Amino acid sequence: MSDSQRHDRVQTRAVHIRASVPEGSVPAAVPLYQTSLFTFEDLPTFADAWSKPDGAFTYSRFGNPTTKAFEDAVADLEGGSSAMATASGMGAVSTVLLSLLRTGDHVLAQRGLYGGVFTLLADLCERWGIEVTYLDAEDPAEVAAACRPTTRMLYLETIANPLGQVCDLPAFTSAAQRAGLITVVDNTFASPVLCHPLRHGADVVVHSTTKYIGGHSDVVGGIIVVKDQELASTLWRRGTELGACADPFAAWLSIRGLQTLPVRMRQHCANAEVVATRLTEHPKVARVYWPGLPDHPSHATARALLDGYGGVVAFDLHGGMEAARSFTSRIRLASLAPSLGGVGTTVLHPASISHSGMDPDALRAAGIDQGTVRVAVGLEHPEDLWSDLAQALD
Ligand SMILES: *Cc1c(COP(=O)(O)O)cnc(C)c1O
């Protein structure tokens, strides 16, 4: 607005507050563009921006500078060409499934998926006529064996929840490629610090950035990363139709988390090693699941594929549900809570919480027992954490 157009009435001046664009220096942190829309000097510029997905910013459901900084950073860490931040991890998963599947399609999915994804797939089966076959994900020959003419997608997790299964990604993605399937990998538990599924043949990577990427239990978010441009534009177009976008403030918090992800991830892994090793020596514990343990069924694959074994440790207590109730009510430092990847340790009982949508047969098939407890190891000193877990066990 030029001075000659200046309106002096207080209502008008209060509305038209202008940001000053810094000159001669650059902000050290990515600025938060908490704006839903962008304004234009003239119609041709506006129309041009509106018609191009990668043109000037117009409306924050389509794109926002803060959100884009986050997307570009995660795409770079994952080795992808572009990314789309979403309102949650489930927003990322549902956008991928609803954008790439249609009625009659068949999906191959790993058994023991994140509970929310398992129930979403069940819902899509029932209401959208999408069929799912669950794989053990132990032998890549399972892919060809389960394929039908309608099979369209293979859905995997880098480190599966809660038992830490790691499937042989390169072998599974090449089996999927031979069958003409799109491979989607949920890389939440590994984060782009421990694994890059796109480099191992995955087509789409999804994250719940609520977890390690955000890292501080203060933001819910998700992200989709791809390397193929055509796939990227399909997902962007449908994702904006579905309204999956992240809020700029959530993206801004996630950028701050991302900056310390590598250091945090190292410590999560180191602390998890202490907890997992001590648990194996404890008489109340029947079995420990952490892919870094030499006797974990996925240990060899994890060693070859990952730059660290992650921060999630699960274990079976002798005494089933009763023992799990008593353990979870005694912890003091660790919190009984859903979710993971924050600075503080969280403890969860999968059979009553995250996997309660599964019937007992499906639960057993996924290897989850009534006495299974999951510990998402945080960044406390490992000795303090172990003292707490040990007193709750004893
Ligand atoms: C938490 C989680 C999700 C869902 O993410 P939200 O951010 O809670 O929507 C999906 N996959 C995995 C592996 C998760 O841990």
| pLDDT tens-digit readout, 303-350 | 999 999 999 999 999 999 999 999 999 999 999 999 999 999 999 999
Residue 266 φ/ψ, nearest 5 degrees: -55, -45
**Could you tell me if the CB of 114 is within 6 A of ligand 1?**
yes
Closest CA to 97 of 89, 354, 341: 89
The answer to whether the beta carbons of residues 62 and 37 sit under 8 Å apart is no
Q: Where is pLDDT greater, at 70 or 112?
A: 70
Longest distance between any two alpha carbons in the chain, whole Å: 82
The answer to whether the beta carbons of residues 158 and 195 sit under 8 Å apart is yes
Residues 6+ positions from 369 with CB-CB distance below 8 Å: 316, 320, 351
Per-residue buried b or exposed e for 265-298, using 16+ beta carbons within 10 Å of the residue's own CB: bebbbebbbbbbebbeebebbbbbbbbbbeebbb
What is the number of the ligand 1 atom nearest to the C-alpha of 210? 7
Q: What percent of the chain has pLDDT over 90?
A: 87
State yes or no: cis peptide before 162, omega within 30 of 0: yes
> Pairing state of beta strands 182-186 and 204-208?
parallel
| pLDDT tens-digit readout, 18-66 | 888 889 999 999 999 999 999 999 999 999 999 987 889 999 999 999 9
Does residue 3 surpass a pLDDT of 60?
Answer: no
Kindly give the distance from the C-alpha atom of residue 179 to the centroid of ligand 1, in angstroms, as a whole number: 28
**Could you tell me if the CB of 118 is within 6 A of ligand 1?**
no
Q: Confirm whether pTM is higher than 0.75.
A: yes
Kindly give the distance from the C-alpha atom of residue 208 to the centroid of ligand 1, in angstroms, as a whole number: 4
pLDDT of amino acid 1:
47
Question: What is d(CA 101, CA 310) in angstroms, rounded to the nearest whole number?
Answer: 31
What is the number of the ligand 1 atom nearest to the C-alpha of 91? 9
**Could you tell me if the CB of 160 is within 6 A of ligand 1?**
no
Question: What is d(CA 385, CA 335) in angstroms, rounded to the nearest whole number?
Answer: 11
In this prediction, residues 247-270 reach a mean pLDDT of 98
Closest CA to 183 of 138, 227, 128, 122: 227
What is the number of the ligand 1 atom nearest to the C-alpha of 188? 13
**Could you tell me if the CB of 209 is within 6 A of ligand 1?**
no
**Domain chopping of the chain, boundaries:** 43-259, 261-393
Question: What is d(CA 25, CA 244) in angstroms, rounded to the nearest whole number?
Answer: 34
Burial of 127 (0-12, 13-18, 19+ CB in 10 A): exposed
User: For a substitution probing ligand 1, which of 96, 110, 114, 346 has the most ligand atoms within 8 Å of its CB?
Assistant: 114
Domains 43-259 and 261-393 share a fold: no
In this prediction, residues 353-381 reach a mean pLDDT of 89
CATH topology of domain 43-259: Aspartate Aminotransferase; domain 2 (3.40.640)
Catalytic annotation, residues:
61, 114, 186, 211
Q: Where is pLDDT greater, at 8 or 313?
A: 313
**Could you tell me if the CB of 278 is within 6 A of ligand 1?**
no
pLDDT of amino acid 5:
59
Kindly give the distance from the C-alpha atom of residue 251 to the centroid of ligand 1, in angstroms, as a whole number: 16
User: For a substitution probing ligand 1, which of 188, 216, 224 has the most ligand atoms within 8 Å of its CB?
Assistant: 188
**Could you tell me if the CB of 186 is within 6 A of ligand 1?**
yes
**Could you tell me if the CB of 116 is within 6 A of ligand 1?**
yes
Kindly give the distance from the C-alpha atom of residue 340 to the centroid of ligand 1, in angstroms, as a whole number: 9
The answer to whether the beta carbons of residues 63 and 248 sit under 8 Å apart is no
Cβ neighbour number for residue 325 with a 10 Å cutoff: 16
| pLDDT tens-digit readout, 72-117 | 999 999 999 999 999 999 999 999 999 999 999 999 999 878 888 9
Which CATH code for domain 261-393?
Answer: 3.90.1150.10
Kindly give the distance from the C-alpha atom of residue 223 to the centroid of ligand 1, in angstroms, as a whole number: 11
Kindly give the distance from the C-alpha atom of residue 120 to the centroid of ligand 1, in angstroms, as a whole number: 12
Q: Would you state the structure tokens that stand for residue 75, as one six-digit string? A: 């795409």
SS in 3 state form for the chain?
Answer: CCHHHCCCCHHHHHHCCCCCCCCCCCCCCCCCCCCCECCCCCHHHHHHHHHCCCCCCCECCCCCHHHHHHHHHHHHHHCCCEEEEECCHHHHHHHHHHHHCCCCCEEEEECCCCHHHHHHHHHHHHHHCCEEEEECCCCCHHHHHHCCCCEEEEEEECCCCCCCCCCCHHHHHHHHHHCCCEEEEECCCCHHHHCCHHHHCCCEEEEECCCCCCCCCCCCCEEEEECCHHHHHHHHHHHHHHCCECCHHHHHHHHHHHHCHHHHHHHHHHHHHHHHHHHHCCCCEEEEECCCCCCCCCHHHHHHHCCCCCCEEEEEECCHHHHHHHHHHHCCCCEECCCCCCCCCEEECCCCCCCCCCCHHHHHHCCCCCCEEEEECCCCCHHHHHHHHHHHHC
| pLDDT tens-digit readout, 272-292 | 999 999 999 999 999 999 999
User: For a substitution probing ligand 1, which of 86, 88, 90 has the most ligand atoms within 8 Å of its CB?
Assistant: 90
pLDDT of amino acid 135:
96
Does residue 240 surpass a pLDDT of 70?
Answer: yes
In this prediction, residues 118-134 reach a mean pLDDT of 94
